[in-house]
Structure 1
Amino acid sequence: MGKYNALGLIETFGIVYALEAADAMCKAADVELIGFENVASGYISVLVRGDVGACKTAVETGVKAVEDMGTEVYSSVVIASPHKDLEKIISRYSIKNLIPENE
């Protein structure tokens, strides 16, 4: 996982809330936005990585941003030391997969 050890994830309902969470997370701490996934019936997960403290700050801020918009966060978690094999799952959700290689 390179220099970043922790993962931060938030799951909420709807793209608008997911984007608000992602924006707040990236502005609040030194984290890298990995990507997002529409998991089921409109629930969308946002994934970030960074050091443990940054991920905790990012997740807390993202949760607050969604709640301030008047909706609920379905779930959130910080994984401080994810197993290296999780990279196989994380890479599937990378926004880098959405950008053509020519750009």
Structure 2
Amino acid sequence: MEQFDTIGLIETFGLVFVLEAADAMCKAADVDLIGYENVASGYISVLVRGDVGACKTAVEAGVKAVKDMGAEVYSSVVIPRPHPVLEKIIKRYSLDNLLPQA
């Protein structure tokens, strides 16, 4: 069975806060920004991928960045070795889907 990297996610309210979280996540650890999803009514989730330690560090930094701005983090999670079926969901929210294909 194929193994996948760890994924880390943060959900907050508003584009400004999720961009701050994503920026902090990418600066704090060696993670790849996979994508984001505007869930509903302004709730936005951001998703990164990397090894377990990097994702934990990234999520902690993202949560701190949002809280430092006075906003609320609604949820955050680090999933080590996610089950391969989750790749269907991950691909749906990938930034690659937003970019024009060459």
TM-score, L = length of structure 1: 0.94
Q: 1:82 corresponds to which residue?
A: 82
Matches within 5 A, 1:24-103: 24-102=24-102
- What do residues 30-69 of structure 1 show as CA deviations (whole Å, max 9, x unaligned)? 0000000001110000000000000000000000000000
Structure 2: give runs of 5+ residues left out of the alignment.
Answer: none
Secondary structure class of the residue paired with 2:65: helix
Match of 2:8 in 1: 8
Q: Match of 1:35, as an amino acid?
A: G
Structure 1 residue 101: Cα displacement: 1.2
Structure 1: segments with no counterpart, 5+ residues: none
Residue 71 of structure 2: SS of its match in structure 1? coil
How far apart, CA to CA, are the structure 2 residues paired with 1:4 and 1:28? 21
What is the alpha-carbon distance in structure 2 between the residues aligned to residue 85 and residue 4 of structure 1? 10
Q: In 2, Cα distance between the equivalents of 1:25 and 1:63?
A: 9
| Contact persistence 2:4–2:82 (CA under 8 A) | no
**SS of residue matched to 1:81:** coil
Q: Distance between the aligned counterparts of 1:31 and 1:3, measured in 2?
A: 17
Amino-acid identity (%): 76
Q: After TM superposition, where is structure 1 displaced by more than 6 Å over at least 4 residues in a row?
A: none
Q: Distance in 2 between matches of 1:74 and 1:56?
A: 17
Q: What number of residue pairs does the alignment pair up? A: 101
User: What is the alpha-carbon distance in structure 1 between the residues aligned to residue 98 and residue 83 of structure 2?
Assistant: 25
> Contact conserved, 1:4 with 1:49, CA < 8 A, in 2?
no
Are residues 1:21 and 2:10 paired? Answer: no
